[in-house]
Chain A
Amino acid sequence: MSTMLDVKTGSGAVGASVGHDSKVNYLNHVNTAASWFLTLDHKRIALLYLVVTSFMFVLGGAYAGVIRAELITPKGDFVSSDFYNKSFTAHGVIMVFFVLIPAIPSVIGNFCLPLMLGAKDVAFPRINLISWYVYMAGASFTLFALISGGVDSGWTFYTPLSTTYLNSNVMATATGLFILGFASILTGLNFIVTIHRMRSPGLTWFRLPLFVWAIYATSVIQLLGTPVIAITLALVGVERALGVGIFDPRLGGDPILYQHLFWFYSHPAVYIMILPALGVTNELISTFSRKPVFGYTMIAGSSIAIAVFSFIVWAHHMFTSGLSPYAAMFFSLLTFSVAIPSGIKVFSWLATLFQGSISFDSPMLFAYSFIGLFTIGGMTGLFLSTLGTDIHMHDTYFVVAHFHYVMVGGTIVGYLGALHFWWPKMFGRMYAEFPAKISAILVFVGFNLTFFPQFLLGYMGMPRRYHEYPAEFQVLNLFSTAGALVLGVGYIMPIFYLTWAAFFGKKASSNPWGATTLDWTHTESPPSPHNFESTPVVTADPYDYRVIQKEGALVAH
């Protein structure tokens, strides 16, 4: 091991030495099956998650294909009503629970968090591995439920339909999701402890990369919220199996109780999905404009504020359920309050770009796409938090468009941007830039073509989850399906060029983008199994571009 030199450079970070043999890395140092499936290395676990979440994304996308194909014509002539209902349920369950919630935290978070903290690994590497197996167990149950007949309750499982009236695989799916929840809880716990206890010397809270703040806020929500959905699903199971009558009005139960319990988790869940993507965007905007993120403290604070406020707005999903008007007003007001911290992030990014030095590498195109689509998605949320307009728009395609803008235009685009950004770090090889730019543009264009017409359909009154619809809605549905084809191409392309690049791409330096955080400045591409030669000591803020570090030279002398 080379000597650690204590030298201040322009960025203030103290570096390890260069000249280390970069051939031994976390990918190639051992390659048996056991070394992958029993790995304790957070980087390998991240790749395990990458494979399974990608598979689930393709599966969920296939179900979306069924939906959009059926909706080309007003009549229900492509698939039966039951198959259609099972398709949109599968699409929702898979995308929400198996893709959107785990993707950025368990892939990007797992890979980058210890690197950004100057740590060797997460706090509990074994729990990290266990969480992947828990994910696999949950996925297996759910896939079994889908294959052995499917479930047609909608991903929301509203009672008493799901508890008393359906003959489909509600129990198997609920069990799968109950198990899966523990993966989320364990990951959240792991990250919280890691961030508290494993920051390298000098890395104070306000020197953390903003992605870490986002992961921290996300982990708090995961830890506190997921138990509620677990118990709610358990209650659904108990009611279905034993006929207890918690949600069955014929036995004195209350169907609306289910909605309160379900949304108490599921609303914070959407912030589990978006916060990491917001965190990624900080890193991308900063790196590709060579400026510190404007308003660091407010951004960090806004992530925590979103996590807190996310727990007190759930009943905005229930404005037409017969809520007391006073409760409705209360929840409406609070919902506006959670919009503000999200908005200030967008303004901060614009201020970051101001007088920056902007380059348009593909990760930046994804970041721009994110800002545009997240802005539209967030702004359209205002129609839904406003009582007077929500009554009309509730349970229509307007809601579908809104949440796809934030979850797909937000989370998935952010995830794609993160994958492209960190791909050279993960594999030590660069992907081809041209197809990546094409993919980013196709995703942006295809996405808008698919989902913008749905705002119009919703205001016209087209309800959600409709297999058939009145003829006057056809033209907009056609545009939407056409857009879905473009979007599909945009999604499939990275599967090819990124996978190809992982094995055959041009070798990348340790910091091809000129970023400033420890994951880029103090590790190889790909990192060595233990990440750092020696623990870095941090003496400055995370985003200081006065000394640009590029072309693989770790900060030396």
Chain B
Amino acid sequence: MSEQVAVQGQTKQINLLKVLGPVHVWALGVGIVLVGEFMGWNYGVGKGGAFGALISCWVIGLLYTCVAMIDSEVTSTVAAAGGQYAQAKHTIGPLMAFNVGLYLVLAYTMLEAGDVQVAGQLIQIGAGELGHDIPWEPFTIVCLALLAWLNYRGVFMTLTVNFVITAAAFLSIVILFIGVHPWNPTAVLLHQHLLTDLPYGWLGVLASLHFGIWYYLGIEGTCQSAEEVRSPGRALPLGTMTGMITLLIAAALTWYIVSGLLPWEYIGWDAELAPLFDAARVLGSPWLTVILFVGTLFSAIASANGCINDAARAWFSMGRDRYLPSWFGAVHPRYRTPFRSILFLIPIAAVFALYIPLAQIITFSILSGLLNYTFMPFNMWKFRRKWPLGSIQRGYEHPFHPLPAAVLLVLCVATFVAVYLGYGRQLLAMMAFYVIASLWFAFFRYRYVRRGDQFTMPWPRPQGY
């Protein structure tokens, strides 16, 4: 079939396979993110208390709603792998595109490393519960190898598996919610005893925004599948917006359950890995404990799976445009996947997963994600100014422009302040890294970029040109 690419001296084009629908887009976005409901968000409780974490859940939820609205509109017009990288290339320019591409690759590769590290440690914890002491490293590596193999073999199976395990993980949260008898809030839950005032005031609430990102980090990854979706103009906005709604529900349920079963000092404790799992253990039901253990493990695996997919697409797109060596822009002739990019990024994720502490890895991921969100308002303003409504066909037009872009920018700045409060050195080191990378691109790499090939969408000349 697709091996027959060279016919009588003529080279047939091999593109990524267009086989995905809205369900796969949902599975990609929610799959990457849902792990953030099972772990990570709880460190925000340590900064701002339970109510502080709830406020950050709402505020960051608003930030990501703006991200989803903006992304859905722009991506519904740019059917290209690389997501925001391809958007930046069309609306702003090569240097911004290079930086956005790097933000994407680092955000997803670091998150992938954190996910497989957590998956290995969860298996170790599960074995420990049964009275067996085993190392976590082999299970981290086997998760990474299995997911890389799945991604290598094809996107349809990869995201179908992601749909199944993501849906199962989401269902485990719903089952736990039913298990705490929400129809009788005082029967099992102890909100009236456990909830306190803000322990560190509003400064603590501001600091907790950093960890509020966990509830939703990665939903923007849906647009990396743009080139593999059958109808990107329709499927991407539908998959992204339904994914965001799913996450808002999951975040609300998670906070409600955990804050009603565990004291805030324990939830926000540095050594607390999986608050939903612990909430199930507190209930004393073996069934709920097993279901939440499986849900937590599935969420970590689904996230790593989606991250391998997205990091490889971003790297592949940059290679194809010669922002990186063009060697990375290869597509597997049989499986139609960016196989060189997938293989190249796996050892990097493995090294970070095995040797770097989880908090450091995730901070790299959050910072890269945050830089990406800060680019989006500028992208949106330029996009609407250059191609106003009606000038090109859009699958989705977000309402109230420029309000979402302005709100997004303000919330990004507030979150940068929050990150600076806890991880100032990492933030500055990360900024220095991107400045050095930008200098390398401008002075050593840009000469290889084919400038005439950058603009690939069949759009009219932008207004003002």
Same complex for A and B? Answer no
